[in-house]
Chains A and B, each alone.
Chain A
Amino acid sequence: MSSTTHYPAATVSQAVETHTLAVIVDNEPGVLARVIGLFSGRGYNIDSLTVSETEHQKHLSRITIVTRGTPMVIEQIKHQLERLVPVHRVVDMTIAGPAIERELAMVKVRGKGESRVEALRLADAFRARVIDASTASFVFEITGGSGKIEQFIALMIPLGLVEISRTGVVAISRGPETM
């Protein structure tokens, strides 16, 4: 019994799942603040968020959000997003059908000698491109699923990894259908 509050206790929760949501919004001032404010205000998680205008004539932006929660919370997040006035559509890419998710990362590695060669070899194995080089460093560009990028980063740590910049996940459905 929660005898020290006058609110009901939290109920036993379901298992937490990770979902990727694609949100089409009017690209107007404050729209991102509305989306982010909804997540922070209602205590939802954001694992990653990307946003950019995708249809310039219609001033539409696409926001891709990776979030975690129980199935009930994920359903709430979708409904709460749909309730925002400038939101056109919300699609749960995780359940809407097969989808491709990709992320881009730029990874700076500093080093000399053998570790420098090893970094270059591994980058080649991961199909990471060298987009900047100096005698003491490389910047690699790598694209792929978040797992692949995590793995690449882990391998670079002992080889002199000093800085990472990641875009966060973008997603699109497979096949001819559009959202």
Chain B
Amino acid sequence: MSREMTGAEMVIEALADQGVEHLFGYPGGAVLPIYDALFHQQRVHHILVRHEQGAVHAAEGYARSTGKVGCVLVTSGPGATNAVTGLTDALMDSVPLVVITGQVPTHLIGNDAFQECDTVGITRPCTKHNYLVKNIADLARVLHEAFYVAKTGRPGPVVVDIPKDIQFAKGLYQGPKNIQHKTYQPKVKGDLERIRAAVELMRHAKRPLFYTGGGVINSGKAASQLLREIVKLTGFPITSTLMGLGAFPASDPQWLGMLGMHGTYEANLAMHDCDVMICVGARFDDRITGRLDAFAPGSRKIHIDIDPSSINKNVKAEIPIIGDCGHVLEDMLRLWRTGAAAADKAAMAAWWKQIAQWRARKSLAYKNSKDIIKPQYAIERLYAATKGKDVYITTEVGQHQMWAAQLYGFEEPNRWMTSGGLGTMGYGLPAAVGVQMAHPEALVIDIAGEASILMNMQEMSTAVQYRLPVKVFILNNQYMGMVRQWQELLHGGRYSQSYSDALPDFVKLAEAYHAVGIRCTNPADLDAAIAEMINVNKPVIFDCVVDQSENCFPMIPSGRAHNEMILGDAAESIEDAVTEEGKMMV
């Protein structure tokens, strides 16, 4: 079933055959033939962003909220370089993307031609794989292979760089069938003997803990379901990384909250004191482990990951299991059931009693105010107003992101889109655009800071053009809050360049974009204002003016262990917490 067509037509044909319905992009000289091919068809719907970085983040939001591959089309040179931040973000957070870049004609490559850059060279370290197609005969195969590589194994972004002459050239199109990659075939089934050993270790555990991550979400909805079953069946407590939120319901009593640098007291202390750690699809990132030589010192670790390079990278695992989380959890669950395994009841009772004591510390508590909106209060009210709705949350990066992760309760996977690995300010709004495109009826909220939002504010225009009623909920404290918090902690409170001066009037800015602007400064008005935001069927910028000086707690400071957290009420000022070491030693 091969038909002759141009390279540009092949691109569209391949996207359609791969089930792509939405393509985020921005035209330019080197992709004009593909844009012309787009013009002649109805199957692939193109969304015009306002900046190529926005296109990649939108595709990330689209991919993470649907589990499908996100797709991007940009031009050569600046189009490709603008996409680099998004590509790196997707690589760090394992988001499957296929990004098609135009390139100058093959005879001009290397000539410093207009809008030329070494796209495959620049994107080599920030993609899972990339291709430069120099022969029309390779194009169809490469496009299908790109989708295969992007979504197989640990997902990631793939770039296909297509010179303009290849877009015009005619060749035979091959469908996605019979395209099998000769070398790239990741292992999805875990080693049964290892899984059996893991079950044995879990059965005898006195202080076990599930530590789960984004891998569970990437593995698909079934993996989250299996995780819920095994957590229920074993009765073990569970915590998760930032990326893994939603795989396990936050309302469940076995849920300890997020762990790590801004994790809860109970999650971090349970991590520190556990004797058996079951890591599922997480990678022992430095935001999680803190000081490595004091990380969970008395624990034996089971590490399930599809990427062998994640195992033993930072932390040695006694039982490494290479495979897809879903497959491994399925086998683990079956072995636990058929072996009639049961947890040590007496030990579990003591463990839960200990956890209850840590929980009673209420580490996410804060001093509320009648006069000024506390950022934590704003998140709590937003959560209360949207609970039970078909809601998706994206964030920018900083304090607001951590407060959202701590205080917004996620019950389902794929509902939480945030830049975890790279920490990209400006991620949230374009990601929300992508999410809303995939879920037109859902409530999509970007929880933002006033500094982050300005980094990709131009995507409001995209939201308005496509009638995407995304809500941008800005916790406006007129600071780059997380930077300021670190300056208080490490640099004597010298706020070097971390204040937001000359901010726009966000309400007027919303209006300038033909969106709706809402401002709220009084805690008493907050609920009504949030209700108004939710009820408007248009894009909204919500300027929530919050306490300028609030910091994000709990916190594990620089290179400390999990049992050396700073708690919010332990220090009036964060500087005290560092100098008076006794206060933060728990």
Q: Which chain A residues have a beta carbon within 8 Å of chain B's beta carbons?
A: 1-9, 11-12, 26, 29-30, 33-34, 37, 41, 72, 75-76, 79-80, 82-88
Q: Tell me whether B183 and A87 are in contact (CB under 8 A).
A: yes
Contacts of B184 in A (CB 8 A): 85
10 of the cross-chain contacts (CB-CB < 8 Å) are: A5-B559, A6-B490, A8-B289, A8-B291, A8-B559, A33-B121, A41-B125, A72-B312, A79-B311, A83-B309
Contacts of A11 in B (CB 8 A): 292-293
Q: State A2–B560 Cα separation when bound (angstroms).
A: 8
Q: Tell me whether B559 and A9 are in contact (CB under 8 A).
A: yes
A26 to B, closest residue via Cβ:
B183
Contacts of B558 in A (CB 8 A): 1-7
Q: A3-B490, A76-B313, A85-B184 are in contact. Are A8 and B290 (CB under 8 A)?
A: yes
B359 within 8 A of A: no
Interface size range of chain B in the complex: 20 to 34
B128 within 8 A of A: yes
Q: A3-B490, A30-B124, A41-B125 are in contact. Are A79 and B309 (CB under 8 A)?
A: yes
Q: Tell me whether B309 and A2 are in contact (CB under 8 A).
A: no
Q: Which chain B residues have a beta carbon within 8 Å of chain A's beta carbons?
A: 120-121, 124-125, 128-129, 132, 149, 181-184, 286, 289-293, 307-309, 311-313, 316, 486, 490, 557-560, 578
Q: Tell me whether B293 and A85 are in contact (CB under 8 A).
A: no
Q: A76-B309, A85-B128 are in contact. Are A7 and B286 (CB under 8 A)?
A: yes
Q: Tell me whether B309 and A80 are in contact (CB under 8 A).
A: yes
Partner of B120, one of A30, A75, A83: A30
Q: Tell me whether B307 and A83 are in contact (CB under 8 A).
A: yes
Q: Tell me whether B559 and A37 are in contact (CB under 8 A).
A: no
Q: Tell me whether B490 and A9 are in contact (CB under 8 A).
A: no
- Cβ distance B461 to chain A, nearest Cβ, rounded Å: 35
Contacts of A79 in B (CB 8 A): 307-309, 311
Q: Tell me whether B129 and A85 are in contact (CB under 8 A).
A: yes
Q: Tell me whether B124 and A34 are in contact (CB under 8 A).
A: yes
Q: State A76–B309 Cα separation when bound (angstroms).
A: 6
Q: A79-B308, A80-B309 are in contact. Are A6 and B293 (CB under 8 A)?
A: no
Q: State A160–B387 Cα separation when bound (angstroms).
A: 83
Contacts of B183 in A (CB 8 A): 26, 85-88
Q: State A67–B193 Cα separation when bound (angstroms).
A: 33
Contacts of A2 in B (CB 8 A): 558-559
B310 to A, closest residue via Cβ:
A79
Q: State A6–B560 Cα separation when bound (angstroms).
A: 10
Contacts of A84 in B (CB 8 A): 129
Q: State A37–B182 Cα separation when bound (angstroms).
A: 23
Q: Tell me whether A3 and B578 are in contact (CB under 8 A).
A: yes
Given A79-B308, A85-B183, 11 more A-B residue pairs with CB atoms under 8 Å apart are: A4-B558, A5-B558, A8-B286, A26-B182, A33-B121, A41-B125, A72-B316, A79-B309, A83-B307, A85-B149, A85-B184
Q: State A68–B125 Cα separation when bound (angstroms).
A: 22
- Cβ distance B178 to chain A, nearest Cβ, rounded Å: 19
Q: State A79–B312 Cα separation when bound (angstroms).
A: 10
Q: Tell me whether B560 and A1 are in contact (CB under 8 A).
A: yes
Q: State A26–B182 Cα separation when bound (angstroms).
A: 10
Q: Tell me whether B291 and A6 are in contact (CB under 8 A).
A: no
Q: State A5–B291 Cα separation when bound (angstroms).
A: 12
Contacts of B313 in A (CB 8 A): 72, 76
Q: State A88–B184 Cα separation when bound (angstroms).
A: 8
Q: State A12–B289 Cα separation when bound (angstroms).
A: 16
4 residue pairs, one from A and one from B, having the closest CB atoms? A79-B309, A2-B559, A85-B129, A8-B559
Q: State A1–B289 Cα separation when bound (angstroms).
A: 15
Contacts of B132 in A (CB 8 A): 29-30
- Cβ distance B320 to chain A, nearest Cβ, rounded Å: 11
Q: State A7–B285 Cα separation when bound (angstroms).
A: 11
- Cβ distance B318 to chain A, nearest Cβ, rounded Å: 15
Q: A1-B560, A33-B124 are in contact. Are A82 and B286 (CB under 8 A)?
A: no
Contacts of A82 in B (CB 8 A): 308-309
- Cβ distance A80 to chain B, nearest Cβ, rounded Å: 5
Q: State A41–B122 Cα separation when bound (angstroms).
A: 12
Q: State A7–B490 Cα separation when bound (angstroms).
A: 12
Q: Tell me whether A37 and B124 are in contact (CB under 8 A).
A: yes
